[in-house]
């Protein structure tokens, strides 16, 4: 199941999979409609000669025209997509390009145009006239005309889609929605049993108590996903503990430590290969098990907006707002302990995200570029105020207080206007009150 999910995620993000399915469906549709052109069907279609009464030359000409125009439209569509990708990469960040290529609507549009072209070629091949023995699949020809009309409507709607998808609000909202969906998968509201994240740091470190054997990474790249069930099964079968040195989203270097096994003797090649197979490593990160990657994309957009050459404060504010929505979803969830037990036995020690790490990922770099910017600092303080009202966890509130302190220090150093300082001080006071009180929710 893990391999299937991993393969499906890669196919879904590819630019060719859905168009290929649509082209295959168009070939099947053409074959079915051509075969449906029997004598009985022709007699029935003859009742509407203005719709189905085209001769061989007329049908061949119409199919040729539709096929040629669809190839032109495919070229125009590819050009529009490339221009959109180039503009999004230069204006926002190259990491959001995957969201464009994963767009099911974009993939469907390319598939529709290519499918209409393929359909017309299949039907055109079967049209015969004159000495060849006349055969005109009237139903298939008419359906080709209907597909051409649908293609025109698809092109108009695609132009609207491209224009709206390049707006900063749409891009940021799309990444945020995908990130929140990943959080819902990774951190269900009622998540198992065992020590929670606040108690994790109180547990003894078992590294010094055992003999650990290193398993090296078989390639360099980012860890896209981990098969947690397979790791737990491997630890149970070998009666050992698996210590993951790297978590999802981290970069590993070939022949460096990927994980550790608590074994007296070095693991055999079969065990090493089985453990390596539980890690999916590739050249780029994926969001299915990596919520931090979504945060990283939004932060990159904010950093680009705050750069001196652009200074787009409105886009940066939108990024902070959606980062607040993402962290608010995490603040209400129980993040599992890094230690996985089975029947009371410690089996796996994982490396995963925490609220504190996601908070730092969200605000640290934005704060460094917000020097003297009252709007961004006020927005970040409002975000901390919202998050403080959602969590009672001591470690999470401690992280919020640290962020509050750092923003206050930044404002003290960089905000010179007394009026602006008063605005920041009010936000600081309100957030301190929220942190001092019990959470509202």
* DSSP secondary structure, 31-74, as one string: HHHHHT--HHHHHHHTT-HHHH---HHHHHHHHHHHHHHHHHHH
Residue 76 token pair: 């125009």
- Between β-strands 242-244 and 345-349, what pairing exists: parallel, antiparallel or unpaired? parallel
Q: Identify the DSSP state of 102.
A: T
Q: Identify the DSSP state of 135.
A: B
Residue 91, classified by CB atoms within 10 Å of its CB into exposed (0-12), middle (13-18) or buried (19+), is: middle
pLDDT of 192: 34
pLDDT of 194: 39
pLDDT in tens, the chain (441 residues): 556 666 776 777 777 888 999 999 999 999 998 887 654 455 555 555 555 555 678 788 888 999 999 999 988 888 888 888 888 887 787 777 777 777 888 889 999 999 999 999 999 888 877 665 677 777 888 889 899 999 999 999 998 888 888 888 989 999 999 999 999 988 876 433 334 555 444 444 555 567 889 999 999 999 999 998 899 999 999 889 999 999 999 999 999 999 999 988 889 999 999 999 999 999 888 888 899 999 999 999 999 999 888 888 999 999 999 999 999 999 988 888 888 888 888 899 998 899 999 999 999 999 999 998 999 999 999 999 999 999 988 999 999 999 999 999 999 999 989 999 999 999 999 999 999 987 765
- Comparing CA positions, the residue from 433, 417, 403 lying closest to residue 374 is 417
Q: Identify the DSSP state of 167.
A: S
pLDDT of 117: 94
- Between β-strands 345-349 and 279-282, what pairing exists: parallel, antiparallel or unpaired? unpaired
Q: Identify the DSSP state of 348.
A: E
Strand order in the sheet with 279-282: 251-252, 221-226, 279-282
What does each C-alpha distance from 51 to 55, 62, 122, 149, 266 come to in angstroms? 11, 13, 20, 15, 77
Gap between the Cα atoms of 222 and 228, Å rounded: 17
Distance from chain centroid for Cα 179: 7
Question: Are the CB atoms for 136 and 59 separated by under 8 Å?
Answer: yes
Q: Identify the DSSP state of 340.
A: E
Question: Residue 346: phi, psi to the nearest 5?
Answer: -70, 125
Q: Identify the DSSP state of 336.
A: B
Q: Identify the DSSP state of 439.
A: P
Residue 313, classified by CB atoms within 10 Å of its CB into exposed (0-12), middle (13-18) or buried (19+), is: middle
Per-residue H/E/C for 203-256: CCCHHHHCCEEEEECCCCEEEEEECHHHHHHHHHHCCCCEEECCCCCCEECCCC
pLDDT of 316: 94
- Comparing CA positions, the residue from 383, 380, 368 lying closest to residue 414 is 368
What does each C-alpha distance from 30 to 19, 123, 249, 253 come to in angstroms? 16, 6, 45, 50
| Range 190-224 burial, b when 16+ CB lie within 10 A, else e | eeeeeeebeebeeeeeeeeeeebbebebeeebbbb
Cite the beta strand spans of 325-407 per DSSP E: 339-342, 345-349
pTM of the model: 0.82
pLDDT of 399: 95
Hey, what's the torsion of the CAs at 230, 231, 237, 238, to 10 degrees? Answer: 150
């Amino acid at each position: 199941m893990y391999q299937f999910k991993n393969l499906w995620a890669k196919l879904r993000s590819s630019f060719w999979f859905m168009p290929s399915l649509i082209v295959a469906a168009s070939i099947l549709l053409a074959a079915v409609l051509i075969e449906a052109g029997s004598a009985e069907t022709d007699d029935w279609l003859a009742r509407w000669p203005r719709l189905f009464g085209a001769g061989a030359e007329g049908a061949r000409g119409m199919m040729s025209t539709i096929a040629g125009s669809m190839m032109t439209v495919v070229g125009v569509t590819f050009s529009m997509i490339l221009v959109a990708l180039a503009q999004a990469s230069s204006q926002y960040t190259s990491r959001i390009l995957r969201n464009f290529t994963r767009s099911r609507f974009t993939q469907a549009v390319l598939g529709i145009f290519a499918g209409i072209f393929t359909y017309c070629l299949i039907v055109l091949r079967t049209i015969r006239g004159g000495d060849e023995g006349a055969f005109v699949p009237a139903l298939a020809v008419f359906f080709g005309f209907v597909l051409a009309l649908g293609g025109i409507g698809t092109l108009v709607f695609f132009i609207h889609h491209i224009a709206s998808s390049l707006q900063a609000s749409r891009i940021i909202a799309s990444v945020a929605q995908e990130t929140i969906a990943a959080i819902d998968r990774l951190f269900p509201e009622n998540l198992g049993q065992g020590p929670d994240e606040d108690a994790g740091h109180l547990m003894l470190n078992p590294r010094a108590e055992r003999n650990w054997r290193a398993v090296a990474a078989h390639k360099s790249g980012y860890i896209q996903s981990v098969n947690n069930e397979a790791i737990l099964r491997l630890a149970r079968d070998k009666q050992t503990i698996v210590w993951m040195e790297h978590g999802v989203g981290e970069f590993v270097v070939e022949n460096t430590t990927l994980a550790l096994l608590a074994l007296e003797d070095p693991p055999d090649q079969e065990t090493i290969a089985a453990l390596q197979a539980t890690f999916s490593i590739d050249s780029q990160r994926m969001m299915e098990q990596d919520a931090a990657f979504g945060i990283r994309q939004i932060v990159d957009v904010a950093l680009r907006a705050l750069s001196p050459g652009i200074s787009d404060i409105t886009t940066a504010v939108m990024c902070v707002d959606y980062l607040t929505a993402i962290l608010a979803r995490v603040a209400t969830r129980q993040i599992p302990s890094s230690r996985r037990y089975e029947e009371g036995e410690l089996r796996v020690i994982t490396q995963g995200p925490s609220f504190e790490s996601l908070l730092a990922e969200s605000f640290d770099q934005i704060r460094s570029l917000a020097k003297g910017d009252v709007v961004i600092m006020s927005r970040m303080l409002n975000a901390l105020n919202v998050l403080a009202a959602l969590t009672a966890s001591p470690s999470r509130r401690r992280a919020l207080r640290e962020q509050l302190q750092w923003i206050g220090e930044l404002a003290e150093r960089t905000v010179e206007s007394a009026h602006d300082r008063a605005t920041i001080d009010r936000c600081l006071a309100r957030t301190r009150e929220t942190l001092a009180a019990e959470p509202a929710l």
